[in-house]
Structure 1
Amino acid sequence: MNNLFQFGETVDGYPVRVVNERTVRAAAGLLFFPAVVSFMNALLTANYQPTRLFVIVFLIDMTLRMLNPRWAPSMIVGGWIVRHQTPEWVGAPQKRFAWGLGLLLGIAMLYLMVLNRFMGPVNMLVCASCLTLMFFETAFGICLGCKLYNVFNREKAQLCPGGVCEVPARRPGWGIALPQAAVLVLFVGALTLAKGWVDETGPLGGFDDMATLEDMGLKPVAGAPTDPKAEAERCQVPAFAKAIGHEATWKQHNGCS
């Protein structure tokens, strides 16, 4: 029974219980992808149903992680994906603290969006926080929540990814060689020029552009007549879009004049 709810694994040679960082990063990526898809879908189309579903999935996964990471669906699938990689053991206590923060954010979204159907800037702030935490974990192996562990706990975190808990051997300067910095400057300059050229050439004609359809050899399909009353109701800008000054963009994304 103790093993059922034991957080982390006991591995010989390690002073604290540990989790496999490779599995953690894989699990973060598995959650990050549907999270960003549902978030952008809500932002661009005002369809919050995928986000509400993802919040439920996220909350279940985080709850199981807090009990025992080995039972969380994302950790199970992530562990299977990286099963042939050498484990990288990191301290479990700071991970549990970080996932606890994720659980609190999930509970907030459950209350606001799933149960009370509240849509507004607060939701975006919470979602953006979750996305940021998951992105840093899966892309860079940086656990932002773990960094707060040392602030609220007397015992400092041990066995952090990349050995950052220990005193690292620092290179002098910023860690970027001068030629590398020059490449970055040139890249930014090329990006600026490319943006200027793209802006000058104008936007591409979409499938609503009759000339573009003719050029492609396609014929526009006549749709069913639109009910003016239903169209007016569909194009009512939600309160959250007005609150953040997103009204015109929302109308554009939803095909409303």
Structure 2
Amino acid sequence: MNHIIKFGEDVKGFNISVLNEREIRAAAGIMFLATFISWIQILFEGNFVPIKYVLTIFLSDFSIRLFISPKFSPILIIGRLIVSNQNPEYVGAKQKVFAWYIGLILSATMFVLMAIFNTYSYITGTVCLLCLILMFFETAFGICLGCKVYKLFYKERAQYCPGEVCELNEKHEIQKVSKNQIFVFFTFVSIVFIAGILFNEKLNERPRDLFQKHIKSKVTQP
């Protein structure tokens, strides 16, 4: 039974339980996409049905991860299948359990307010946006914001962080940003800003159907 109910896995060469960061990022990407699509449904169609299903799935998944084992999380299993041909990137399990408790609290709050009480408010909107930010940082940048909060509550330093950010290593030359790169970046932003001002009226024109004119001309021919 202890082999089933366990957070993290024992891997040779690591002195603590670890998880595969690649499948975690894949799972975060799946969750982000599902939440974002549901959010769009609410904003543009006023349809709250998808988000209720998504919240039920997320709450169940986080509960399985934390109270049984991440190995049996359905979304992590999908993530594992997607990245199964990639070499694993091992990360410490301790900071992940802390981050996933944050996810559990957020999804439980949303589930109670939206699925059980059938309500929406600035609270659900803010929590939903926070969830999107957390998942986006995880999947796009490999940055676990919840893991960073872990450092504020626990004095012991986290081990095996994604990208080895826990280690105090000097940046490689390819990671450094030069003054020329900063200049190019701000120049690019300035050009985009100026172009937005100059062409704002043109960009605000409603687009026309590419084929509509062609169809009408064919119909009106004698």
Cα distance, 1:46 vs structure 2: 2.0
1:63 equivalent to 2:63? Answer yes
- Residue matched to 2:116: 115
Q: Residue 215 of structure 2: SS of its match in structure 1? A: coil
Equivalent-residue separation in structure 1 for 2:16 and 2:63 (angstroms): 22
Change (3 A) 1:123 1:179: same
Q: 1:83 to 1:214 in 2, by over 3 A?
A: closer
- Confirm or deny that 1:179 pairs with 2:177: no
TM-score normalised to structure 2 length: 0.88
Cα deviation 1:30-86 (Å, max 9, x = unaligned) = 111111111122123322111111111111111111121111111111111111111
CA displacement at 1:203 relative to structure 2: 2.9
Corresponding residue number in structure 2 for 1:37: 37
Shift, 1:20, TM fit: 0.5
User: For structure 2, which runs of at least 5 residues remain unmatched after alignment?
Assistant: 217-222
Q: Report the counterpart of residue 168 of structure 1 in structure 2.
A: 169
SS, match of residue 39 in structure 1: helix
1:93 is displaced (CA, Å) by 0.7
Tell me, yes or no, if the aligned pair for 1:21 and 1:89 is still in contact at 8 Å: yes
1:76 corresponding residue in structure 2 = 77
Who is 1:217 aligned against?
215
Alignment partner, residue 220 of structure 2: none
Report the equivalent of 1:18: 18
In structure 1, what residue type is equivalent to 2:76? M
Task: Answer whether contact 1:11 1:17 (CA < 8 A) is retained.
Answer: yes
- Runs of 4+ displaced beyond 6 Å: none
* 1:215 partner letter: K
Aligned CA distance change for structure 1 residues 42 and 216 (closer, same or farther; 3 Å): farther
Q: Work out whether residues 149 and 156 of structure 1, in 8 Å CA contact, stay in contact via their aligned partners in 2.
A: no
Structure 1 distance, partners of 2:139, 2:211, is 41
1:6 aligned partner: 6
SS in 1 for 2:166: coil
Q: Give yes or no for contact 1:8–1:18 (8 Å, CA) kept in 2.
A: yes
Contact kept? 1:24, 1:78, Cα under 8 Å: yes
Q: Tell me what 1:49 maps to.
A: 49
- Of 152-161 and 25-34, more deviation after overlay is shown by 152-161
The RMSD of aligned alpha carbons is: 2.3
Task: Give distance in 2, aligned partners of 1:206 and 1:170.
Answer: 47
Give aligned pairs, total.
215
Cα distance in structure 2, aligned partners of 1:88 and 1:144 = 18
Q: What one-letter code is carried by the residue in structure 2 that aligns with 1:8? A: G
TM-score by length of 1: 0.77
Q: Which secondary structure state, in structure 2, belongs to the residue aligned with residue 217 of structure 1?
A: helix
Displacement of 1:175 after TM fit? 3.5
Question: How far did residue 4 of structure 1 move?
Answer: 1.1
**How many angstroms does 1:113 deviate by?**
0.6
Corresponding residue for 2:103? 102
Q: Distance in 2 between matches of 1:65 and 1:175?
A: 37
Cα distance between partner residues in 2 of 1:170 and 1:84: 29
Deviation, structure 1 residue 215? 2.8
AA in 1 matched with 2:121: G
| Alpha-carbon distance in structure 1 between the residues aligned to 2:40 and 2:198 | 27
Amino acid at match of 1:16: I
Q: Helix, strand or coil: the match of 1:14? A: coil
Unaligned runs of 5+ in 1: 219-257
Q: Which is richer in helix?
A: 2
Q: Distance in 1 between matches of 2:167 and 2:20?
A: 18
Change (3 A) 1:216 1:41: farther
Aligned twin of 1:192: 193
